[in-house]
Amino acid sequence: MKMHFCIPVSQQRPDALGGRYTLYSVYLDGFLFCRVRYSQLHRWNEQLRRVFGNCLPPFPPKYYLAMTTSMADERRDQLEQYLQNVTVDPNMLRSDVFVDFLKLVQLGTFSITTKKALLDIFLPDGRSVQVEILTSDTAERVLEVVSHKIGLCRELLGYFGLFLIRFCEEGKLSVMKKLVDFELPYVSLRSSEAENCKVGLRKWYMDPSLDSMLMDCRAAVNLIYMQAIQDIQKEWAKPTSAQRQKLEALQKEDNQTKFLELSREVRHYGYMQLDPCTCDYPAPGCGAVLSVGNNEISCCVTLPDNQTQDVIFQMNRVKCWQVTFLGTLLDMDGPQRTLNQNLELRFQYSEDSRWQWFVIYTKQAFLLSSCLKKMISEKMVKLAAENPEMQIEVPEQGKSKKYHIQQNQKDCSSFLPRTSKIKIAEVDCVLGNINEEGL
pLDDT at 355 over 50: yes
- pLDDT score recorded for residue 439: 35
Give the pTM: 0.86
pLDDT tens figures, 107-163: 999 999 999 999 999 999 999 999 999 999 999 999 999 999 999 999 999 999 999
Across the chain, what does the average pLDDT equal? Answer: 86
Instruction: Evaluate whether 260 touches 240 at the Cβ level (below 8 Å).
Output: no
> If pLDDT is split at 50, 70 and 90, which confidence band does 339 have?
low
pLDDT tens figures, 312-336: 999 999 999 999 887 655 444 444 5
286-293/296-302 β-pairing: antiparallel
- pLDDT score recorded for residue 393: 52
Instruction: Evaluate whether 117 touches 141 at the Cβ level (below 8 Å).
Output: no
Beta bridge partners of 428: 321
pLDDT tens figures, 82-112: 999 999 988 999 999 999 999 999 999 999 9
Long-range contacts: 389-398, Cβ < 8 Å, 24+?
392/436, 392/439, 393/90, 393/436, 393/439, 394/439, 395/90, 395/93, 396/158, 397/140, 397/157, 397/158, 397/159, 397/161, 397/181, 397/204, 398/90, 398/93, 398/94, 398/140, 398/158, 398/181
pLDDT tens figures, 180-232: 999 999 999 999 877 889 999 999 999 999 999 999 999 999 999 999 999 99
